[in-house]
Amino acid sequence: MKVSVLNIKGKDTGRSVELSKSIFEIKPNDHAVYLDVKRYLASQRQGTNKTKERAEITGSTRKIKKQKGTGTARAGSIKNPLFRGGGNIFGPRVRSYSQKLNKNVKKLARRSALSLKLKSKAVSVIEDFDFKTPKTKSFSDVINALGIKDKKSLFILGGVNKNVYLSARNLERTNVVTNSEISTYSIMNAQHIVFLESSLEQIESNLS
C-alpha cells in the first residue's frame, strides 16, 4: 500500500512510500497481540514488596512456657506467626513478574498491531526532520500541523535523535521511540502513529 510522505508542516511532499504487505496488511492475530501486551505490562511490575517471616524478625528463640500443663496451646517461640509481633505467614516475597514469549510471536503481535492501525487510517509518514536545539514548541507545531493535537501519538524515529526526543519529552500525549524500541503495547496504546521516513526500512527488516 502506498502512503503519501508529508513534511513537518503537514503538506504533501509529492512523494510516497510503499508499505510492506507482510507487515502492514496481514490478517491481525488478536491472541498474539494480547499475549505481547500482557507480557509488557507484567514486566512493568517491580515485584519488590516483601514481609518478614518468622526466621527474619528480631526476637528470642527460647521456649516461652512449658510444653504441658498450661491449659493453652503449646508455643515454642515468641516469633510464632500466631503471636503479635511474630513473623508473617505466606506474605509476599521479592519476585519477578516477567513472562517469556517467543520472538516470532512478538513479531507477529507487532505486525498485527501495525496492520490494525493502518486499517483504521491511524498511520502517517513524514520526512526526516531535526531541531537545532530542543524546544517543546517546535514539536508542538509539528503535532498541530499533522492534525493530531488531541490524540495520543507515537513518533517512530529512524535512529537516535536527541533534540527531537527532548523536544517531545514534556508532551503528555506524545511518545517518541526509535525503530528498535517499538512494542506492541506502545502501538496499541497510541491513537495515531507517525513514522519518520528513515524508520520504515529498518522496521521492515526487524519484523520481516
DSSP per position, 98-113: -----HHHHHHHHHHH
Answer left, alpha or beta for residue 199, where phi above 0 means left and psi between -120 and 50 means alpha. Answer: alpha
Distance from C-alpha of 162 to C-alpha of 158, rounded to nearest angstrom: 12
In the numeric block, which cell numbers belong to residue 197? 521516513
- DSSP3 helix / strand / coil % (the chain, rounded to 5): 35, 15, 50
| Rounded average pLDDT over 3-15 | 90
Distance from C-alpha of 168 to C-alpha of 51, rounded to nearest angstrom: 40
In the numeric block, which cell numbers belong to residue 26? 496481514
- Quick check: 136 pLDDT over 90? yes
Output the pLDDT for position 156.
95
Neighbours of 97 (CB within 10 A): 12
Q: What is the pLDDT of residues 28-58, one digit of tens each?
A: 999 999 999 999 999 999 999 999 999 999 9
Q: Residue 14 in contact with residue 32, Cβ under 8 Å?
A: no
Q: What is the pLDDT of residues 115-132, one digit of tens each?
A: 999 999 999 999 999 999
DSSP per position, 21-50: HHHHSS---HHHHHHHHHHHHHHT------
Output the pLDDT for position 159.
87
Distance from C-alpha of 85 to C-alpha of 29, rounded to nearest angstrom: 52
Say which amino acid occupies 51: T
Q: What is the pLDDT of residues 74-118, one digit of tens each?
A: 988 999 999 999 999 999 999 999 999 999 999 999 999 999 999
The full set of domains in the chain, from first to last, is: 2-45+101-207 (3.40.1370.10), 49-96 (no CATH)
CA geometry: angle 149, 191, 132, nearest 5 deg? 50
